[in-house]
Structures are given as C-alpha cells and as structure tokens.
Chain A
C-alpha cells in the first residue's frame, strides 16, 4: 500500500503530461460550433448578382451544399478561391455568403476570379454571419439536404484538407440524400 502511494506523484505527473502533450496539437483558435445539428438560421437577403432577388434559407434545401462565408477584405479568401473553383468544377454544390462587404468589389472579385457559387448571398451588415456564429472569414458550413448544419470548418480550405478531411463529410451528406 505504501509503495503504491509512493507511485502516486508519478501517476499524477504522467496524467498531466499526457493532457499537456495532447494540448500541444490542438488549435486554440478553433471553436466548436454551437450550430452543428441545428437548422440553418432563417434569413432573407438579396442576391449579390441580382439585388432584386431575395434568397432565404429555403433555397438551400434540396441537396447538400457547402456554404462559404467570404469577403474581399479577407486575404485567405483569395487564397481559398481557386480551390473552390476547382471543387465547383468537380460538381460540388457551393453557395457563397458575401460577409460584410461592398457590392461593387465583390462582384468584381467574382467576375475576375470566376464564380464558384450557385447562390450568392449578400450579407452586407453581417446579420446572417452573426446568426451563423461567424467570427472570421473564410468559414465553410456543410449543410445537408434538409437544411441542417452538419459540419463547420473555420479557415482556408486547401486541396489536401479537402481530400483528407472534408470530402468524406460531403460524400456522407450526398449518400444520405440519395437512398
């Protein structure tokens, strides 16, 4: 019993060491989204390419989609854009939320760099962004065919990340949608 007690500090040390070691590899900037498993928040916002047209959350339903929050003031969005173009070309259904941006430069961006988005939602005041819990662009939400948010990725999507982590998630949503 006494000998076991002597080992106690070592056991505590090992426990703390494992805990801290695991902490080394966790990104503290990554927040778990509070919206996973919840329906995409209700909104009614103009289309970026056609301000007369109003887009609502109902337009997102039907098939799985990526909802990408972007802005022209966001440098990583520019880095991410070619990847989104490639994904769109490969048939991935992507919608864009132009977050706290101005219409003219945003349109210019899409005509210069190609438009990978099916729907272009203009969120000039950031109201949808606030409801989505967006804290920095780019952020990408994975929405299933029923309009439920299933996954969220904060940060730039690159090809490796898509291949290894995100494509399987999207594929799963596709599989669910086609029984």
Chain B
C-alpha cells in the first residue's frame, strides 16, 4: 500500500501530462473548445476500432483532429463537420449512429427486450399467484390417499 500510493499519484500526474500533450489547439472561445471536445469524443477512429479520435494516437486520428479543428475555425456547425466525415468514412465514425431503418434495432432493441422480459415476468408472476390463491383442495381425496399409500408401500423390484 505504501508503494502503491506514490505509483498511483505518479500515474495520475503523468496521464494529465499526456492529455495536455495531445491538445495543442488554441481556440478563440470556450464554446469552440467545448464543441471540439464533444466532437473528438463522439467520433470514432477508423483505424483503431473501439477508440474515439480523442483517445487514439494513430496518425489518422491526428489527421481527423486537425481536420475537425480546421472546420471549427471555418465556423462550420457540428452537423456539418460530422456529415463531412461520414461522407468519407461512413456511419462507422459515429459513436452515436443516426436513427434510421437500419439502426432501429440498435436504438430500440435493448428497450424492447427489457419490456418483453418484464412482460413475461409479469405473466409468470400472475399465473403463480392465481394458482396459489385459487381454492385448490389441499386435502387428498380417499382415492388419492389410497394411491399414495400403495406407492409408498411398494418395494422397488
């Protein structure tokens, strides 16, 4: 523990440095800087899958960050910038895919599954409850008792 703590502190300090090293762009105002951050975090690196272009060190991610910065400076809107990249790299570059017929399942599939599961659960619970609360005779009838006795008495062959 005594060794772990300094290592942790050092690690955190270094990672802060690293983060600072990546962002060397200067923005005129805070709003643009925020937009830049959202965009690079929402767009996906085409080369290193499963990383956004903010996190990736791949040359292509650097190029895309430069391109986004250039377009921001030109005063283009977020939608225009995203469209610009989607036209070249396809919907793949978006971590937030557009809502259309192809992505319908992706957007609503999990919710539908959850609702379906809850529905099924409710049906099961209700059925159980009906069985429990229904006045089923818990006493055995004379025939049943007799059958039980024979079953219990029967020696296995």
Interface residues of A (CB under 8 A from B): 28-29, 31-35, 100, 126, 130-136
Contact = CB atoms under 8 A, between A and B. Distances in A.
A133 B47 CA distance: 11
Interface residues on B, range: 10 to 19
Nearest to A32: B90
A54 B100 CA distance: 42
A132 B88 contact: yes
B87 interface: yes
B104 interface: no
Interface class of chain A by DSSP: loop
A131 B86 CA distance: 11
B92 interface: yes
B49 A34 contact: no
Residue of B63, B88, B90 with highest tally of chain A CB at under 10 A: B88
Interface of B: 46-47, 49, 59-60, 63-64, 67, 86-92
Contacts of A34: 86-91
Given A135-B47, A136-B47, A31 B90 contact: yes
Nearest first, the 7 A-B pairs at minimum CB distance are A34-B90, A135-B46, A133-B88, A135-B47, A133-B89, A31-B92, A135-B60
Nearest to B50: A28
Contacts of A35: 88
A33 B90 contact: yes
Contacts of B91: 34
A70 to B, nearest CB: 15
Contact of A28 (B49, B63, B89): B49
A134 B63 CA distance: 11
A136 B45 CA distance: 11
Contacts of B63: 126, 130
Contacts of A133: 46, 88-90
Nearest to B86: A34
Nearest to A33: B90
Given A34-B87, A34-B91, A130-B88, 10 more contacts: A28-B49, A31-B92, A34-B86, A34-B90, A130-B64, A130-B67, A131-B88, A133-B88, A133-B90, A134-B60
A131 B59 CA distance: 15
B35 to A, nearest CB: 20
Residue of B46, B67, B89, B91 with highest tally of chain A CB at under 10 A: B89
Residue of A131, A135, A136 with highest tally of chain B CB at under 10 A: A135
Nearest to A136: B47
A115 to B, nearest CB: 25
Contacts of B87: 34
Nearest to B90: A34
Contacts of B67: 130
A29 B50 CA distance: 11
A100 B91 CA distance: 25
Contacts of A31: 46, 89-90, 92
28 contacts: A28-B49, A29-B49, A31-B46, A31-B92, A32-B90, A32-B92, A33-B90, A34-B86, A34-B87, A34-B88, A34-B89, A34-B91, A35-B88, A100-B59, A126-B63, A130-B63, A130-B64, A130-B67, A130-B88, A131-B88, A133-B46, A133-B88, A133-B89, A135-B47, A135-B60, A135-B89, A136-B47, A136-B60
